Amino acid sequence: MADGRRTSVTYTREMLESAVKAFVWRRGIAEQKGLWSVEAVMIAALAWLLWSGERGWPIGVIGVVVLLPPCLIVGMWVAHYRNTVGKFRRMPSRQADFVFRDDGFEVISELGEARLPWSTITEIWERPDCWMLFTGPNQFMTLPIGTVMETDREFLRSRLSSAARRKS
Protein backbone atom coordinates (compact mmCIF):
# COMPACT_ATOMS: atom_id res chain seq x y z
CA MET A 1 0.00 0.00 0.00
CA ALA A 2 2.58 2.53 -1.13
CA ASP A 3 0.18 5.36 -1.92
CA GLY A 4 -2.43 4.38 0.61
CA ARG A 5 -6.15 3.92 0.35
CA ARG A 6 -8.22 7.06 -0.04
CA THR A 7 -11.80 7.31 1.10
CA SER A 8 -14.09 10.33 0.98
CA VAL A 9 -16.38 10.86 3.93
CA THR A 10 -19.26 13.22 4.60
CA TYR A 11 -19.99 14.71 8.00
CA THR A 12 -23.44 15.49 9.35
CA ARG A 13 -24.33 17.75 12.23
CA GLU A 14 -26.29 14.93 13.90
CA MET A 15 -23.28 12.61 13.75
CA LEU A 16 -20.99 15.17 15.35
CA GLU A 17 -23.52 16.13 18.02
CA SER A 18 -23.93 12.44 18.84
CA ALA A 19 -20.14 12.04 19.13
CA VAL A 20 -19.92 15.01 21.51
CA LYS A 21 -22.80 13.63 23.56
CA ALA A 22 -21.11 10.21 23.78
CA PHE A 23 -17.84 11.83 24.82
CA VAL A 24 -19.42 13.99 27.55
CA TRP A 25 -21.50 11.09 28.86
CA ARG A 26 -18.59 8.66 29.06
CA ARG A 27 -15.74 10.95 30.14
CA GLY A 28 -17.76 13.32 32.31
CA ILE A 29 -20.31 11.01 33.88
CA ALA A 30 -19.79 7.26 33.42
CA GLU A 31 -16.03 7.31 34.08
CA GLN A 32 -16.35 9.64 37.08
CA LYS A 33 -18.25 7.42 39.50
CA GLY A 34 -16.25 8.66 42.48
CA LEU A 35 -17.02 12.29 41.70
CA TRP A 36 -20.72 11.59 41.35
CA SER A 37 -20.74 9.56 44.58
CA VAL A 38 -19.25 12.52 46.43
CA GLU A 39 -21.78 14.76 44.67
CA ALA A 40 -24.65 12.63 46.02
CA VAL A 41 -23.22 12.79 49.56
CA MET A 42 -22.83 16.57 49.29
CA ILE A 43 -26.42 16.97 48.09
CA ALA A 44 -27.62 14.83 51.00
CA ALA A 45 -25.53 16.91 53.44
CA LEU A 46 -26.93 20.12 51.99
CA ALA A 47 -30.49 18.82 52.24
CA TRP A 48 -29.94 17.68 55.84
CA LEU A 49 -28.44 21.04 56.84
CA LEU A 50 -31.32 22.94 55.25
CA TRP A 51 -33.88 20.63 56.84
CA SER A 52 -32.27 21.09 60.27
CA GLY A 53 -32.51 24.87 59.96
CA GLU A 54 -28.88 25.75 59.17
CA ARG A 55 -28.60 29.03 57.30
CA GLY A 56 -24.93 30.03 57.82
CA TRP A 57 -21.83 29.96 55.68
CA PRO A 58 -21.63 26.13 55.50
CA ILE A 59 -24.77 26.17 53.34
CA GLY A 60 -23.07 28.54 50.91
CA VAL A 61 -19.88 26.52 50.75
CA ILE A 62 -21.66 23.21 50.26
CA GLY A 63 -24.01 24.82 47.73
CA VAL A 64 -21.06 26.01 45.65
CA VAL A 65 -19.37 22.60 45.88
CA VAL A 66 -22.62 20.90 44.81
CA LEU A 67 -22.83 23.15 41.74
CA LEU A 68 -19.25 22.53 40.54
CA PRO A 69 -19.62 19.06 38.92
CA PRO A 70 -22.72 19.99 36.88
CA CYS A 71 -20.98 23.22 35.81
CA LEU A 72 -17.94 21.20 34.72
CA ILE A 73 -20.18 18.96 32.60
CA VAL A 74 -21.80 21.99 30.99
CA GLY A 75 -18.35 23.47 30.34
CA MET A 76 -17.15 20.19 28.83
CA TRP A 77 -20.20 20.05 26.57
CA VAL A 78 -19.85 23.67 25.43
CA ALA A 79 -16.12 23.38 24.70
CA HIS A 80 -16.38 20.16 22.69
CA TYR A 81 -19.58 21.18 20.94
CA ARG A 82 -18.13 24.51 19.83
CA ASN A 83 -14.92 22.87 18.66
CA THR A 84 -16.51 19.96 16.82
CA VAL A 85 -19.61 21.62 15.37
CA GLY A 86 -17.67 24.85 14.79
CA LYS A 87 -15.27 23.04 12.46
CA PHE A 88 -18.25 21.45 10.72
CA ARG A 89 -19.84 24.87 10.13
CA ARG A 90 -16.62 26.14 8.56
CA MET A 91 -16.56 23.25 6.05
CA PRO A 92 -18.44 24.34 2.90
CA SER A 93 -18.69 20.83 1.42
CA ARG A 94 -18.95 18.91 4.73
CA GLN A 95 -16.55 16.40 3.21
CA ALA A 96 -13.02 15.21 3.89
CA ASP A 97 -10.67 12.61 2.51
CA PHE A 98 -8.87 10.09 4.67
CA VAL A 99 -5.81 8.34 3.28
CA PHE A 100 -4.79 5.19 5.15
CA ARG A 101 -1.13 4.21 4.88
CA ASP A 102 1.08 1.61 6.54
CA ASP A 103 2.76 4.22 8.74
CA GLY A 104 -0.22 6.46 9.49
CA PHE A 105 -3.08 8.34 7.92
CA GLU A 106 -3.91 11.70 6.45
CA VAL A 107 -6.99 13.86 6.81
CA ILE A 108 -7.59 16.36 4.03
CA SER A 109 -10.41 18.91 3.93
CA GLU A 110 -11.05 22.54 3.03
CA LEU A 111 -9.88 23.42 6.54
CA GLY A 112 -6.43 21.94 6.01
CA GLU A 113 -4.43 18.72 6.10
CA ALA A 114 -2.94 16.61 8.84
CA ARG A 115 -0.74 13.54 8.67
CA LEU A 116 -0.64 11.41 11.79
CA PRO A 117 1.31 8.27 12.63
CA TRP A 118 -0.76 5.42 14.05
CA SER A 119 1.00 5.80 17.39
CA THR A 120 -0.79 9.11 18.03
CA ILE A 121 -4.12 7.30 18.30
CA THR A 122 -4.52 6.41 21.96
CA GLU A 123 -8.09 5.17 21.86
CA ILE A 124 -10.88 4.52 19.38
CA TRP A 125 -14.58 4.36 20.03
CA GLU A 126 -16.45 2.48 17.33
CA ARG A 127 -19.90 4.01 17.07
CA PRO A 128 -22.60 3.04 14.55
CA ASP A 129 -22.15 6.10 12.31
CA CYS A 130 -18.58 7.15 13.05
CA TRP A 131 -15.40 6.21 14.84
CA MET A 132 -13.97 8.58 17.39
CA LEU A 133 -10.18 8.57 17.10
CA PHE A 134 -8.53 9.91 20.26
CA THR A 135 -5.12 11.58 20.26
CA GLY A 136 -5.38 12.36 23.98
CA PRO A 137 -7.82 11.75 26.82
CA ASN A 138 -9.95 14.75 25.85
CA GLN A 139 -9.09 15.25 22.19
CA PHE A 140 -10.71 13.30 19.37
CA MET A 141 -11.48 13.45 15.68
CA THR A 142 -14.41 11.78 14.02
CA LEU A 143 -14.23 9.43 11.07
CA PRO A 144 -17.65 8.93 9.43
CA ILE A 145 -17.66 5.22 8.78
CA GLY A 146 -20.57 4.82 6.35
CA THR A 147 -18.49 5.05 3.17
CA VAL A 148 -15.36 3.34 4.53
CA MET A 149 -15.05 -0.12 2.98
CA GLU A 150 -14.90 -3.08 5.35
CA THR A 151 -11.38 -3.94 4.13
CA ASP A 152 -10.26 -0.44 5.12
CA ARG A 153 -11.96 -0.81 8.51
CA GLU A 154 -10.07 -4.05 9.07
CA PHE A 155 -6.85 -2.34 8.02
CA LEU A 156 -7.53 0.41 10.59
CA ARG A 157 -8.26 -2.15 13.29
CA SER A 158 -5.00 -3.95 12.49
CA ARG A 159 -3.04 -0.71 12.94
CA LEU A 160 -4.64 0.16 16.25
CA SER A 161 -3.86 -1.82 19.36
CA SER A 162 -6.66 -3.82 20.89
CA ALA A 163 -6.29 -1.76 24.08
CA ALA A 164 -7.12 1.39 22.11
CA ARG A 165 -10.35 -0.01 20.62
CA ARG A 166 -13.55 0.31 22.61
CA LYS A 167 -17.07 0.00 21.30
CA SER A 168 -19.43 2.80 22.21
**Domain assignments of the chain as residue spans, ordered by start:** 5-12+95-162, 18-88
* Sequence letter at residue 19: A
Share of the chain above pLDDT 90, in %: 61
pLDDT of residue 82 exceeding 50, the answer is: yes
* Sequence letter at residue 87: K
pLDDT, tens digit, 9 for 90 and up, residues 96-132: 999 999 889 999 999 999 999 988 999 999 999 999 9
Q: Do residues 156 and 17 touch, judged by C-beta distance below 8 A?
A: no
| pLDDT at residue 165 in the model | 54
- pLDDT class of 78 with cuts at 50, 70, 90: very high
Torsion of CA 160, 144, 94, 110, to 10 degrees: 10
pLDDT of residue 137 exceeding 70, the answer is: yes
Please name the fold of domain 5-12+95-162: PH-domain like (2.30.29)
Give the separation between CA 36 and CA 73, rounded to whole angstroms. 11
